Amino acid sequence: MADQLPLPALHHHQQHGCCFRRNQLILDLYLDQVPNGGSKNQSVVLRPNAPSNFGMLAVNDWALYDGDQHDRKLVAHARGHHMQTSQHDVNHQWFISCQIVFADDSRHKGSTLVVIGTLVDGQKGDWAIVGGTGEFTLAQGVIYHDIVRNHASRRFRLLQIRAQYITMGSPVTRLGHVSNRFLRLRVSPNVVTHCSLYHSYINLTIVQPDVGCDHVGNIIGSLAK
């Protein structure tokens, strides 16, 4: 049965129910840190003349693998910077701020995790996950890290990633020119429609709540002429 729905007012958005789902991420990766040499993956950009290298700043593009052996596979990169923030600690306390950027050929392609925390030389610890993008929208959690292999030229750390994140609805959207003030739709009783108007364009989302908030059905109907 076809119904005629009046278009919402300009900038008005109608929303019924939730359209997200909470998920968990449990992932173990190995961070390969190479401070020096031809294959180094970090670089000092600021080296003040201060005790204990206080204030030293380095940028990093650390590789993250699914293992620490020769047959390991690249999964992501930890890209950001770390700064020496202790004046007196002989072990150095590095404040880390970086993004874990998942590789194009990984199962999480295009997604990121935002990480901050402290790295103390020779000690295990944890970092906070304070955000994310792509698959890991609104991620929160913790990364437990510990050195598993330590050589003069490189260090391997086990990262145990434990996080929660939100799966947002990824709507199938069609935009079309509105020639009058009515949109003609054919919908079934178990379908919820979200409809919003922006200038002369209509943004329509169809959600089927009986199969989960992240499921988006096809748009059936057309813009009235």
Model pTM score: 0.66
Residues 115 and 153 in one domain: yes
Q: Is there a single domain that holds both residue 50 and residue 135?
A: yes
Q: Report the percent of the chain where pLDDT is more than 70.
A: 66
pLDDT tens digits for 152-173? 788 999 999 999 999 876 544 4
CA 126 to chain CA centroid, nearest Å:
19
Number of domains in the chain: 2
User: Would you state the pLDDT for residue 86?
Assistant: 87
Q: Are residues 38 and 126 in the same domain?
A: yes
Given this model, what pLDDT does residue 20 score?
74
134 and 88 together in one domain: yes
Residue 97: per-residue pLDDT: 98
* Residues 152 and 44 grouped into a single domain: yes
The lowest-confidence range among 7-16, 56-65, 150-159, 197-206 is 7-16
The residues, ordered by sequence, that sit 6+ positions from 49 with a Cβ below 8 Å of its Cβ are none
Instruction: Please state which of the ranges 11-15, 41-45, 60-64, 105-109 shows the lowest mean pLDDT.
Output: 11-15
The mean predicted confidence, pLDDT, of the chain is 76
The enclosing H or E element of 128 equals: strand 125-133
**Quick one: 47 and 126 in the same domain?**
yes
Do 203 and 103 reside in the same domain of the chain?
A: no
Asked whether residue 71 falls in the same domain as residue 126, the answer is yes
What is the pLDDT confidence band of residue 178, given thresholds at 50, 70 and 90? very low
**DSSP, residue by residue, 152-217:** SS-EEEEEEEEEEEEEE-----EEEE--SSEEEEE--TT-EEEEEEETTEEEEEEE-GGG-TT-B-
Question: Domain limits at 83?
Answer: 21-168
pLDDT of amino acid 121: 83
Q: Who wins on pLDDT, 65 or 201?
A: 65
Helix (H) or strand (E) holding 46: strand 42-46
Q: Give me the pLDDT at residue 169, please.
A: 63
- The residues, ordered by sequence, that sit 6+ positions from 189 with a Cβ below 8 Å of its Cβ are none
User: Which regions of 52-111 does DSSP assign to beta strands (E)?
Assistant: 57-65, 74-84, 93-102
Of residues 11 and 39, the one with the higher pLDDT is 39
Count the Cβ atoms, other than its own, within 10 Å of residue 46.
12
SS3 state at 107: coil
What does the pLDDT look like over 23-82, one tens digit per residue?
999 999 999 999 988 899 999 999 998 887 899 999 999 999 999 888 899 999 999 999
Most confident option among 116-120, 168-172, 197-201 = 116-120
Phi and psi of 220, rounded to 5°? -120, 120
User: At a CB cut-off of 8 Å and minimum separation 6, what does 70 contact?
Assistant: none
Task: Give the pLDDT mean for 122-137.
Answer: 95
CA–CA separation, 24 vs 16, rounded Å? 25
Question: 145 and 196 share a domain?
Answer: no
Residue with the bigger pLDDT between 45 and 122: it is 45
pLDDT for the residue 59: 98
Residues 43 and 138 in one domain: yes
Taking 50 as the threshold, does the pLDDT of residue 201 lie above it?
no
Q: Which of 168, 186, 201 marks a domain boundary?
A: 168
- CATH number of the domain at 61, please: 2.40.480.10
